[in-house]
Structure 1
Amino acid sequence: MMQASITIFTVKDIAASLAYFRDKLGFDVAFEYGNPTFYVGLCSGEVSLHLIAATQTPRLPGHGAVSIFVDDVDALHADLVKRGVRVLKAPKDYDYGLRDFDVADLDGNMIFFGMESQKASWCRSADLLVRS
């Protein structure tokens, strides 16, 4: 049985990306690997996200995406705007039952923050919301 998943973003500048996720998006640094560092583990609540330097993988930076479910989309949006995060789309309610907004990291990887906006049919599996 699967238990969890971790999204890995390929980034051009591991130090700049680590600072962005820590200082702008509020992630904690769980670990740094390599000398010099080329792989980083980040966490915020139940969310884990890893970064790998583009020099260490054939994957190209800026082609990743992750959806993160939060308790209060509007409060998070306000906090991220104060921190100087470039928000691509303001919070909005959608007919699929979510209120969400979008940001991009320094390399263009997409991060979608959302919460339920109306009564919807959801199932919770491994602490992730999945449309049923």
Structure 2
Amino acid sequence: MTNITPAPLKLGRIAATIPVTDVDRSVEFYRTHLGMNVHFTNGHPIGFVILRNGQAELHLTVVKAHQAAIHNVAHLLVDDAAALYESMDDAGVRVVKGLRDADYGLRGFVFSDPDGNRIDVGQHLAH
């Protein structure tokens, strides 16, 4: 096997694709709790949606037999993790891991969407 070093590669946008069983329910969830808006849809009926808020982007794809994983499927950086945690907790969103400050410099928590997809939320802490 030959070791070939590729030329430097500049990456562009990358977005998490989240499997969902009900696209309308999921769009409403992400719109309500993260302020995301529909940027693109595909299919009749709709089977794929791109959601955006600022630089954050999620791709939702319908997978009727989806079973949630036990690991986080996306990581979201925010400017105020405590405020988002409080609003989600008040709204009854399932929090998988409570708000905490980690020794690696992030304040965060983990929530799950209506299909059980785990999203890790983090906020950089000042050093």
After TM superposition, the score normalised by the length of structure 1 is 0.78
Q: Percent identity?
A: 34
Unmatched tracts of structure 1, length 5 or more: 120-132
Within 5 Å, which residues of 2 pair with 1:1-132?
1-55=10-64, 60-63=66-69, 65-119=73-127
After TM superposition, what 4+ stretches of structure 1 lie above 6 angstroms from structure 2? none
Uncovered stretches (5+) of structure 2, i.e. residues with no partner: 1-9
Question: What is the DSSP-based 3-state SS (H/G/I as helix, E as strand, rest coil) of the residue aligned with 1:3?
Answer: coil
1:41/1:48 contact within 8 Å kept:
yes
Deviation, structure 1 residue 73: 0.8
**1:25 and 1:83 mapped to 2: Cα distance?**
12
Give TM-score, length-normalised by structure 2: 0.81
State the 1:118 CA deviation. Answer: 4.6
Whole-Å separation in 2 of the counterparts to 1:61 and 1:110: 12
Match of 2:30, as an amino acid?
A: F
SS at the partner of 1:115? strand
Tell me the distance in 1 between the aligned counterparts of 2:56 and 2:68: 20
- Count residues with an aligned counterpart: 116
Q: Which residue identity is paired with 1:100?
A: G
What RMSD in Å do the two structures reach over aligned CA positions?
1.8
Cα distance in 2 for partners of 1:44, 1:36 equals 24
Kept after mapping to 2: 8 A contact 1:25/1:85: no
Q: Deviations over 1:54-108 (max 9, x none)?
A: 15xxx94423611111111111112222333222222101111111011001111
- Paired residue type of 1:2: L
Greater C-alpha Rg: 2
